[in-house]
Amino acid sequence: VVPLLDVLAPPACAACRSPLAAAGPVLCPDCTRALPWLRRPCPFCALPSHRAGACPAQRAAFARAWAPLAYAGPARRLVQGLKFGARLPLADAMAAQVTAGLPPDLRTGTIVPVPPQPGRRRRRGFDSAELLAAALARRTGLPLWTGLRREDAERRHTRGGIAARRRRTPALVVEGEPPPLVLLVDDVHTTGATLEACARALRTNGSRRVLAITYARTL
Ligand SMILES: [Zn+2]
Ligand SMILES: [Zn+2]
């Protein structure tokens, strides 16, 4: 019996849309092979390489950052699919890629998702960092804590661009007592500014140590 959904929408690769032989995996074999794994990234900023003394995380509030993949190729398309597609199977596939090479020191602690901007979550009804964090918690068996919230007003900076976004510091609210050892989870590590703001808020409110896990690192 062929499931009705497969007749309507045959399973396709989440990155290149080529048809898949069977439902289950989200990537075709070619895209799976093309995943841009990061080998030996810097333990502090997760970049694969930078000049000595030029680590962008030198004075970061998070003690360490790690990502399994570069934000490129099929990894980038999975992130985009998760953002705009509300797809739980994608979140689980990404969590599987994270746990596959998760360093031992990032296998203890409490998973805390980077909170979405309130307006953004309301519009989409879901949030990719939350989906990824929940999938990671399921796969690792680690507890999930969702007391970190972002309360900045919903404002789009279409004209100010990146400069305006950098100037804005998100108002983060910590509800209750945050866990002592935090594994902060986001989909993409770009400048590190969001991770920094979250780590600072958690530590100000009692967390002893914050370690950042993202699915992909912008190079
Ligand atoms: Zn593909
Ligand atoms: Zn570094």
Closest ligand relative to 217 C-alpha: 2
How many angstroms does the Cα of residue 6 sit away from the middle of ligand 1?
Answer: 18
DSSP state, residue 214: E
Q: How many CB atoms lie within 10 A of CB 160?
A: 13
Q: Is the pLDDT of residue 159 over 90?
A: no
Closest ligand relative to 56 C-alpha: 2
How many angstroms does the Cα of residue 94 sit away from the middle of ligand 1?
Answer: 15
Cα–Cα distances (Å) from 154 to 24, 52, 116, 119, 149, in that order, read 37, 39, 11, 6, 14
How many angstroms does the Cα of residue 114 sit away from the middle of ligand 1?
Answer: 29
Q: What is the pLDDT of residue 154?
A: 47
Closest ligand relative to 50 C-alpha: 2
Q: Which bin fits 125, alpha (ψ -120 to 50), beta or left (φ > 0)?
A: left
Q: How many CB atoms lie within 10 A of CB 14?
A: 24
Q: Measured between alpha carbons, how far apart are the two ends of the chain, in Å?
A: 46
Q: Read off the tokens for 109.
A: 């602690």
How many angstroms does the Cα of residue 10 sit away from the middle of ligand 1?
Answer: 14
Q: What is the band of 114 on the pLDDT scale with cuts at 50, 70, 90?
A: very high
How many angstroms does the Cα of residue 153 sit away from the middle of ligand 1?
Answer: 38
Closest ligand relative to 17 C-alpha: 1
Type of residue found at 136 = L
Closest ligand relative to 59 C-alpha: 2
Helices (H) and strands (E) in the chain — how many of each? 8, 7
Closest ligand relative to 16 C-alpha: 1
Return mean pLDDT, the chain: 87
Closest ligand relative to 74 C-alpha: 1
Closest ligand relative to 73 C-alpha: 1
Q: Read off the tokens for 139.
A: 């796969």
Q: Exposed, middle or buried: residue 184 (CB in 10 Å: 0-12, 13-18, 19+)?
A: buried
How many angstroms does the Cα of residue 46 sit away from the middle of ligand 2?
Answer: 6
Q: What is the pLDDT of residue 120?
A: 61
How far, in Å, CA of 210 to CA of 135, rounded? Answer: 20
Cα–Cα distances (Å) from 116 to 32, 73, 105, 121, 148, in that order, read 29, 24, 26, 6, 10
Q: What is the pLDDT of residue 24?
A: 76
How many angstroms does the Cα of residue 77 sit away from the middle of ligand 1?
Answer: 10
Q: Output helix, strand, coil percentages for the chain, rounded to the nearest 5.
A: 35, 15, 45
Q: What is the band of 11 on the pLDDT scale with cuts at 50, 70, 90?
A: confident
Q: What is the pLDDT of residues 66-100, one digit of tens each?
A: 999 999 999 999 999 888 765 788 999 999 999 99
Beta bridge partners of 181: 209
How far, in Å, CA of 77 to CA of 18, rounded? Answer: 13
For residues 124 and 111, which has the higher predicted lDDT (pLDDT)?
Answer: 111
How many angstroms does the Cα of residue 43 sit away from the middle of ligand 2?
Answer: 6
Q: Is the pLDDT of residue 157 over 60?
A: no
3-state secondary structure labels for all residues of 127-164: CHHHHHHHHHHHHHCCCECCCEEECCCCCCCCCCHHHH
